[in-house]
Amino acid sequence: MILLCASYALANGITTHLWVSEQALLLLPEGELKSLLSSEEGHLGLVNGTVFPDGGYAVGHAYGEAGHWEPLQSAYRSWLVDELGSPPYDTSEADFVGFFFGMSSHGMADQVFDSMFMERSKVYEGVLDPSLDESSDILLVSQGGGHDTFDAFIPYEALIPLYAEQGIEVDEDTLDDGHSFARLEPFVVGTIGADPDAVAEYAALYPWTNEHLLDATVFGSPPLEAQVVAAYWQELYRRMMEDIPTEVPYLDTFPRDGAFGHPRGLNDVESRITIVFPRGLEANLLGPQAFRLREGEPEEAGRELPFSVDLFYGQSSHVVLLTPGEELAEDQRYTVEVVAGEVFDREGGTFPVGGAFSFSTGAAPKTAAGGEPPQGCGCRSSGLPQGMLPALLIAWTLSGRRRRQVSAPLAGRLASAASLRAC
């Protein structure tokens, strides 16, 4: 029987979010940021911040949705700079800083996954019940390992006033309750993911996802999410140091510059072009004037093609989809241009420097080498006999740092969840 254990939205599951953050940490270049997030304190903040936004869904509170998005995250970044100064940071402050980078990982990863991988799953599988986040979490555990449990950390003194400024009233107990569910999910999913029979049920529902989840050639897959998150972190850290927007026109593109074999079909999910921006965008000012799609190399003045523009999650989101308005030609190179000064961020600023990338619908030269998807995440799968789960779930929830006492309603919900198929 398929079970919904901790499914809050059609996006990455919490264990996948942790996998992405751990991978992004490995992908960071050596330097201050990687050292900070790799420290014991920084990593504690990172994993807690990574799971934090989904806790709001578990307790039905608006703090969770707001925690996914740049307005709240940017306010927290400003709080860090105001309270701690600009980088570099001491390890005694690393948990607060790591929490910010975990939240930013969660928000960006969901946008990348949803706009590309989930959109493909809808086409190739057409199944959204049980939700993709739960299923992909369990399938990822079976393929790449789960995540260890960790102590709780929430920067209440920063977040509660920042939420209030956005009109969201939340207290420590509510944050604690939601965060307990968020921290519980990897434990439960790790156990189910170690059960071959359960994994087989999920794989049967989502065969395409099961086959491509860790495939770095599939747009929006967790390995590519991690690459985007690592680039996003570096931009955020630079802004903490300089407090000025970047002049880089985009973080990443799919297809990448110079790619071959881009699909040609009209209204084909695979022929879409995706651009990921380093700042949340102003939806009302975004339109076709901000981009150009034309035949030929960047330096050529080829024929321009029609296309539609979709800011995938609307106001303050980062991912733009361009859908060609006609079938692409066979064995043709195309250039996509981001027009300088025509893309506005949510604060009214523009990207003053334009950029261009090109791709081909033709086959790659035979000498071109293919990339390999990242392997593993420095995590390990967890598993316990089913009979031990109900008591252990509640005991483990009570053990976290900064938890005072689990509420009676929360304990009841945990016990109820624990009684269902070892979850």
Model pLDDT for residues 97-107, shown as the tens digit of each residue: 999 999 999 99
Cα–Cα distance for residue pair 284/8, rounded to 1 Å: 29
pLDDT tens digit sequence for 361-370: 999 988 655 4
For position 386, what pLDDT does the model report? 32
Q: For 157-198, give the DSSP string.
A: HHHHHHHHHTT----HHHHHHHHHHHHHHHHHHHHHHT-HHH
- Which has the higher per-residue pLDDT, 289 or 397? 289
77 SS3 class:
helix
Alpha carbon distance 110, 106 (integer Å): 6
Q: Which two tokens stand for residue 190?
A: 């790790």
Question: Residue 58 — pLDDT band, cuts 50, 70, 90?
Answer: very high
Q: Where in the chain is the domain with CATH 2.60.40.1220?
A: 245-360
**pLDDT of 411 higher than 60:** no
- pLDDT interval class at 3 (50, 70, 90): very low
Distance from C-alpha of 345 to C-alpha of 351, rounded to nearest angstrom: 8
Pick the closest to residue 206 from 285, 124, 151, 283 (CA basis).
124
Q: Any idea what DSSP says for residue 368?
A: P
Mean pLDDT across the chain:
85
Assigned CATH class of 245-360 = mainly beta
Determine the residue type at 330. Answer: E
Q: Is the dihedral of CA 247, 234, 84, 74 positive or negative?
A: positive
Q: Is the dihedral of CA 107, 109, 115, 121 positive or negative?
A: negative
| pLDDT, tens digit, 9 for 90 and up, residues 172-229 | 999 999 999 999 999 999 999 999 999 999 999 999 999 999 999 999 999 999 999 9
- Please report how many Cα atoms fall inside a 13 Å half-sphere around the Cα of residue 117, on the Cβ side: 30
pLDDT level of residue 245 (50, 70, 90 thresholds): low
User: What does the DSSP assignment read for 292-343?
Assistant: EEEES-TTS---B--EEEEETT-TT--EEEEEESSPPPTT-EEEEEEPTT--
Q: Are 113 and 225 in contact (CB under 8 A)?
A: yes
Q: Is the pLDDT of residue 373 over 70?
A: no
